Amino acid sequence: MENIRMVRALCGIAGLLLTIFVLSGCGGKREVVVRGDLRGSQTFLEGKTIYLGDAETRNFLDTAVIREGKFEFNVPASDSFIPFRAAILFETSNPEWPHQLVGYKNPYFKKTSEVNFYGEPGVMNLQLDTIRVLTPKNKEVLFKIEQVNPQTEVLFHHYAFKKSSSENAGQLAYNRSLVQKHPYSVELLRTLNFQKSALSSREAMKLLALFDPELHSNPGYIALKTYVNYENKTGSDFPTDVALKTVDDQLVKEVLVDSSKHNLIVFWASWCGPCRMEIPQLKKLHEKKGADLNVVSISIDKDQNMWKKAMQKEQMPWKQFLLPVGETYAVLDKKYNLQSIPLWVLLDGKGKVVDQHLGYDPGENAVDVKVAALLE
């Protein structure tokens, strides 16, 4: 009998320890884990450093060295964690193009590959599919994802909302069915942000309401809701004052329009190649017409440090501001559609639009040529 009691006590202790172990495991820290397998150590990547980056901010979140053909990334996921568009890059030994993106086979579309996936809590396993040598300095690496996570699945399907200015019933039903099927999707929210100008404010609000409550604190959700609610009663005229960030991290209400001159407002970002190519043209224009032209650059960078590094490198001798997510972004986005950059807007002294141009152009529409001609 005593032995039976002892066995029962030991079983009880074991059960308690197992319960504690399970509970502590459930309550432990969550991580985004990405594991890669190159199927051996014979590839050109063996021993090299690779990077897991955030494709939106262009920041590296983790690094790994490939050993025996394998690597692993780990990114902590707090309670406020938001799934992010991820990219993996490797070093190229080419100073002109130091990093190269790896690709991923799209299991939903034949002969289609992707350069991004979504990082979300859990484990994602990558298996090497192919390596192609395009040139001695340019190699293409393609992975298969063993099990595509829910966020990545939406990304790989390339869903799009149907444009509807007349609120066609069939189109509206299709749009709503997309969100109802994937209410958790950060990518679908991002897609809605890009296509918002093609939808009525009423329809955009109805679609927003269908997303999970967990996404309501997402900066993209907040920006889109602000955009939809903003009533643009002044057309394309530039606002008299807008809240912008300065280089020393101050949020200021700035009057950007100089009433004594013409004003050139330039929207750009550090990661935008055409924007950087346009800067020498702006320098020529500023040097030539600075007495008659007030130039202001507004970056839409999400990473403040990248913006500061770009400014330090480019040395632009005119006013520089960062456009923060929120009301000001929504106001300017609704007026000028900031989904595509570089974009410049030429205003007169009263803030009225004289002309505007989207995209980098080295020819007769180059900003220094066109704006100089307009001023003359």
Evaluate whether residue 282 is within a structural domain.
yes
**18 in any annotated domain:** no
167 and 142 together in one domain: no
**143: Cα separation from own chain's centroid:** 22
End-to-end CA distance of the chain: 107
108 plus 167 within the same structural domain: no
Q: Do residues 56 and 97 share a domain?
A: yes
Using the predicted structure, report yes or no on whether residue 3 has a pLDDT greater than 50.
no
d(CA 322, CA 326): 12
The reply to whether 267 and 356 lie within a common domain is yes
pLDDT at 95: 77
Is residue 17's pLDDT more than 60? no
Q: How many angstroms separate the CA atoms of 71 and 73, rounded?
A: 7
Confidence check: pLDDT of 36 > 60? yes
The answer on pLDDT for 296 being more than 90 is: yes
Residue 236 within a domain: no
Tell me which residue range forms the domain holding 181: 159-229
18 CB contacts (<8 Å, ≥6 apart)? Answer: none
Q: What is the pLDDT of residues 54-74, one digit of tens each?
A: 998 888 999 999 999 999 999
137 and 39 in a common domain = yes
pLDDT number for residue 105? 96
Q: In this predicted structure, what is the pLDDT of residue 321?
A: 95
**pLDDT band for position 254 (50/70/90)?**
confident
Judge whether 169 lies within some domain.
yes
- Domain end, chosen from 114, 131, 149, is at 149
* Domain identity same for 252 and 341: yes
Nearest residue to 79 (alpha-carbon basis) of 217, 175, 178, 190: 217
Task: State which of 183, 200, 229 marks the end of a domain.
Answer: 229
Q: Residue 17: inside a domain, yes or no?
A: no
List the single range of 5-19, 40-54, 199-213, 342-356 with lowest mean pLDDT. Answer: 5-19
Task: Report whether 187 contacts 193 (CB < 8 A).
Answer: no
- From 149, 183, 199, the end of a domain falls on 149
CATH for 294 = 3.40.30.10
Q: CB atoms < 10 A from the CB of 151, how many?
A: 22
Residue 251 lies in a domain: yes
**1 in any annotated domain:** no
CB under 8 Å to 324, separation ≥6 — which residues? Answer: 243, 244, 245, 251
Helices (H), strands (E): how many in the chain? 10, 18
pLDDT at 167: 60
| CATH number, domain containing residue 106 | 2.60.40
Residues 211 and 264 in one domain: no
Mark whether 38 and 123 lie in a shared domain: yes
**Mean pLDDT for all residues in the chain:** 87
* Cis peptide preceding 342, ω within 30 of 0: yes
Strands (E), the chain: 30-37, 49-54, 60-65, 70-77, 84-91, 99-101, 103-105, 113-114, 117-119, 122-135, 138-145, 242-245, 251-254, 262-268, 293-299, 319-322, 343-347, 353-358
Shared-domain flag, residues 364 and 251: yes
Question: What is the pLDDT at residue 23?
Answer: 34
Higher pLDDT, 32 or 165: 32
The predicted pLDDT at position 178 comes to 96
Sign, CA torsion 152/154/157/161: negative
State the pLDDT confidence band at 136, using cuts at 50, 70 and 90: low
Residue 321 contacts residue 299 (beta carbons within 8 Å): yes
Query: If pLDDT is split at 50, 70 and 90, which confidence band does 166 have?
Result: low
Confirm whether 336 is domain-assigned.
Answer: yes
Looking at the structure of the chain, the number of domains it has is 3
The two three-digit tokens of residue 76, written as one number: 């902590």
- Mean pLDDT for 75-88 is 92
